[in-house]
Amino acid sequence: MSYRKRRFWLSLSDAGIISLAVWLACLVRFDFSFTEISEYQPMYLMMGHVLFVVTGMHFAQLYRPVYRYVSVRELVSIISATSISILALYLVLKMTYLLGWSIRFPTSLFLMTLAFVLLGITGSRFVWKWWYEEREKRTQDRRRTLIIGAGSAGVLVAREMKTSPLSELRPVAFIDDESSKQNLRVYGLPVVGNRADIARVVQRLSISDIVIAMPSASRQTIKEIFDICKTTRASVKILPHVADIISGKITMNMIRDVALEDLLGREPVQLNLEEITGYLRQQVVLVTGAGGSIGSELCRQIARFGPRKLLLLGNEENGIFEMSLELSRLCPEQETVSLIADIRDRKRIASIMHEYRPAVVFHAAAHKHVPLMENNPCEALKNNILGTKNVAECALETSVSHFILISTDKAVNPTSVMGATKRIAELLIQGYNHFGLTRFAAVRFGNVLGSRGSVVPVFLNQIRAGGPITITHPDMERFFMTIPEAAQLVIQAGALAQGGEIFILDMGKPVKIVDMALDLIRLAGLEPGKDIPVVFTGIRSGEKLYEEILTAEEGLSSTCHNRIFIGKPLDFSWNELLAGIARLEQIADKGATLEDKQSIIEILQGIVPGYHSTSYVKEESTPVPYQVAIG
């Protein structure tokens, strides 16, 4: 309907309401005495009220709002415009009476008329709103939704669900832990209990969806609530953290599915911006492995601190190209240089270092996939040991200020070739710190969610394919953190580095892989064992049941940041380390054969006493997988 037609019909409707209001006011004022009413010429009063009020509503543009979305603001405007219009009519008639016209009226009649007009017009808006919402309920198959959190965010979510034509959710009730809200109604919806009642309420009210509307709650609280919600068959969604809601207005597209990151129970990282800005701003910063998961996130985070030039170095051209495009979009003022290079190529790395003279190097390039490196140990030592050696020595030659190695918890008491080579990389960093002016440090942490080769993308692909999800062992545990969290703490650790440290990030509590798999199935709205089977296939070569973040000898000391710790450096022979690496390099130069694999492992065990290989046991061939159904 066009605005002109809409205005005409609304004006006609209001004229009828005003006329009826005048008659009711006259009947009440004069005790239903029609003889007495006729003396006050009610037809003139009706015409005057209609003319003044409808004109006032028009000039106040109160026929423009869509009254299915009527709010307090529109009602206040209606009350103001109506009151002013009737007051203006009262003054006009008062003046005409004083001038000798025959129209008489008592003041009480106008007050009654005002009350009836306000009641009629505002009521008509609410009737329209109620009628539209009821029609929507009947015409749309909206899913019954339970909102957790009856605060301001919960009310905004309920309002958006009720009014948004795009919403497929219909709010039914609230859950809130505050005892003062129990058994009350918030935005027309009952508060039916606290978090302990979620399962019971979902069953009793036939809830199909749950929305967690607690943007200021801690991550641990969100995890605890989700642990309760996942015992139900309802689909669970969440409102983002308060830091992610910038506009101050909640819309339906802000309500998203719960992600695995929400369930780690870890609070956002707090950075010391002054420290970080001090060693990154207006500096040339080099990131190796910049096309990988950690390397690319380091680039995104570093760009926030205004380096003079950001060097993106990697051997995988597509990753470097995509990262360069992303940074040009996110930070168009940031100068970046894309460098395709292999860290194993000493001459190429030296050329880059001498040309660009970086002040800070983040060395993230590495081979990290445990089973692949078990089958290709020569490539692991080339990349993780010899490549690190090349970059570190070139950094020394060009007097780099800070050199930060990205390490892994698999370097602690390693059982894999990958872990052993990363442990040797840590030893190299500690050794090189005694030469030159460069501050060498390593940052050790566990798995990151969503990285390439991570178990999470594998599980997600298996769920999309209809299962089964394959897990090596029911007791397998790993430490997890998000990629942005890891990158931010690495950058913060670089600011703390004095040289020679192995920084260890607080990884929280280890997570059982089977629990993570079951959560991912539930987050997809499916039931483990019924919709998606889960089977155990046996531990793969090089894997451990439990990861560790430090050796028993290292100990742990704190830093000024509550999420970053320092492992005590261990004594080792620098000459013996270099001699062992030289032997590995000889094997790599000639091209490792099948027989050389055992030699590589023996040399690694000589350099890293805590390394216990699981690759070459008697049943090395193909272990017989065993399958155990879950559910």
The 10s digit of each residue's pLDDT in 205-249 is 989 889 998 887 877 888 889 889 888 888 888 876 654 444 444
- Give the Cα separation of 427 and 421 in Å (integer): 10
Rounded to the nearest 10 degrees, the angle between the axes of helix 388-397 and helix 417-432 is 10
Looking at 31-40, 440-449, 597-606, which range is the least confident one? 31-40
- Provide long-range contacts, Cβ within 8 A and 24+ apart, for 61-65: 63/3, 63/6, 63/7, 63/10, 63/11, 64/3
What are the residues facing 480 on neighbouring strands?
447
Q: Which CATH number fits domain 279-448+480-507+545-607: 3.10.20.30, 3.30.479.30, 3.90.226.10, 3.40.50.720?
A: 3.40.50.720
pLDDT digits (tens, 9 = 90+) for 255-276: 666 666 665 655 555 666 677 7
Task: Using the predicted structure, report yes or no on whether residue 46 has a pLDDT greater than 70.
Answer: no
For the residues 278-298, what does the mean pLDDT come to?
A: 93
Q: Where are the domains of the chain?
A: 3-138, 143-258, 279-448+480-507+545-607
Q: Is 400 exposed, middle or buried (0-12, 13-18, 19+ CB in 10 A)?
A: buried
- Give the Cα separation of 284 and 295 in Å (integer): 16
410 is catalytic: yes
CA 548, chain centre distance (Å): 27
What are the residues facing 189 on neighbouring strands?
186
Radius of gyration of the chain (CA): 36
Which of 227, 99, 151, 305 shows the shortest CA–CA distance to 515?
Answer: 227
Range among 155-169, 411-425, 594-608 with highest mean pLDDT value: 411-425
Report CA-CA distances (Å) from 424 to 43, 345, 383, 417, 504. Answer: 100, 19, 12, 11, 16
Query: For the chain, what is the mean pLDDT?
Result: 79
pLDDT at 290: 95
Task: Using the predicted structure, report yes or no on whether residue 349 has a pLDDT greater than 50.
Answer: yes
8-state DSSP, 196? G
Residue 286 in 3-state DSSP?
Answer: strand
pLDDT at 319: 92
CATH top class, domain 143-258: alpha beta
For the residues 290-318, what does the mean pLDDT come to?
A: 93
What global pTM score does this model have? 0.64
Range among 52-66, 303-317, 566-580 with highest mean pLDDT value: 303-317
pLDDT digits (tens, 9 = 90+) for 524-560: 777 788 788 888 888 877 777 766 665 555 556 667 6
Residue 330 in 3-state DSSP?
Answer: helix
- Give the Cα separation of 255 and 215 in Å (integer): 11
For the residues 265-291, what does the mean pLDDT come to?
A: 79
Q: Which residue has the tokens 């950094």?
A: 395
pLDDT at 265: 55
Task: Using the predicted structure, report yes or no on whether residue 509 has a pLDDT greater than 50.
Answer: yes
8-state DSSP, 265? -
User: What is the β-pairing status of strands 360-363 and 402-406?
Assistant: parallel
pLDDT at 246: 40
Range among 16-30, 393-407, 498-512 with highest mean pLDDT value: 393-407
Matching CATH topology for 143-258 and 279-448+480-507+545-607? yes
DSSP one-letter string for 556-615 = -EE-SSTTEEEEPPPP--HHHHHHHHHHHHHHHHH---HHHHHHHHHHHHHH-TT----S
The one catalytic residue among 368, 410, 422, 544? 410
Q: Which residue has the higher pLDDT, 341 or 88?
A: 341
H-type helices in 436-482, by residue range?
Answer: 455-464
